[in-house]
Structure 1
């Protein structure tokens, strides 16, 4: 009986943060402005649409990179490949895509595929996602909660150095700001 209560208590705590770190359904774009918005389907997408998406992603379109990464991670129209998906998310994050930055923070918070758990890297990407004014209030709240969750697990020096790195990153990437 005691074991059951302890187990239920642990499950409750887990469920409170599960919305921030649930895997493998990592990606679910909510950006209604994104013309490449991810919509999980049970059928394969026509190859010409995927080809166009890949071409846009390869030319550096941040939204296309994000969507292609999401499709690889979710196995939506493409063979599921977490590592390729995260690589595309990284490219999108470098283009200052807030959704990719948020999802990368989640990837590094728990470790995913070949990408090992790294709380400083998770905090870095969560800081950048939380700095966006392009997110809806709900999405911004999620990004801030994730940032605060990770911050609580870092030392003061780690927090300060990571915040400084995020500030430097923002200065270098001003050209990619929406």
Structure 2
């Protein structure tokens, strides 16, 4: 089973294991995450979204996974943006590939000031790969949309 990396965020990787994708290794969800997510905590929303995509301690449900990851991203949580970029780039857990959404979320993650350099670099590579598959008009529209997105949240990114 493919698992989402670092449920707790980019710093929770397992030592000695390479991290090719954010969907590789997930920590067990922390008790109470759903309550925190429902109360608007962007990090908890990201964690819950990843848990739903993985089917870890909850029934796998990509719609709920995307719901919580999108809420987290809409609050400015950069790691959720990176996970969404990767999910839409590769397709995962029933989520179809969507080059436009992958480019959009990768652009937001690559511009983040709160993500570690390694993850920002991976986001930039996803963005650049997506740009090769989009028209100039699509890129212009997505860049305008990204410019209107909330800035990075200063919560555990």
After TM superposition, the score normalised by the length of structure 2 is: 0.77
Match of 1:134 among 103, 111, 114: 114
CA RMSD of aligned residues (A): 2.4
Once the two structures are TM-superposed, the CA of residue 39 in structure 1 deviates from its matched residue by 4.2
Q: Per-residue CA shift, 1:3-48, capped at 9, x if unaligned?
A: xxxxxxxxxxxxxxxxxxxx94344344339xxxx8435xxx6xxx
What pairs with 1:75-90 in structure 2 (closer than 5 Å)? 75-90=55-70
Q: 2:37 aligned to 47, 57, 70, which one?
A: 57
In 2, are the aligned partners of 1:27 and 1:74 still within 8 Å (CA)? no
Contact 1:74 1:80 in 2 (8 A): yes
Q: Which runs of 5+ in 2 are unaligned?
A: 13-24
Q: Which segments of 5 or more consecutive residues in structure 1 lack a partner in the other structure?
A: 1-22
Query: Does residue 28 of the first structure (1) align with residue 6 of the second (2)?
Result: yes
Shift of 1:122: 1.4
Runs of 4+ in 1 over 6 A off after TM superposition: none
Q: How does 1:19-168 map to 2 (within 5 A)?
A: 24-29=2-7, 30-32=9-11, 39-41=26-28, 49-50=30-31, 52-112=32-92, 115-168=95-148
- Secondary structure, aligned partner of 2:148: helix
Cα gap change, 1:157 to 1:177, in 2 (>3 Å): same
Q: Report deviation, 1:87.
A: 1.3
How many pairs align?
A: 141
Q: Which residue is equivalent to 2:20?
A: none
Cα offsets for 1:127-176 (capped at 9, x unmatched): 1011101111111111111111101111111111111110122xxx24x6
- Which 10-residue stretch deviates more, 68-77 or 114-123? 114-123
Counterparts of 2:130 and 2:109, CA distance in 1:
13
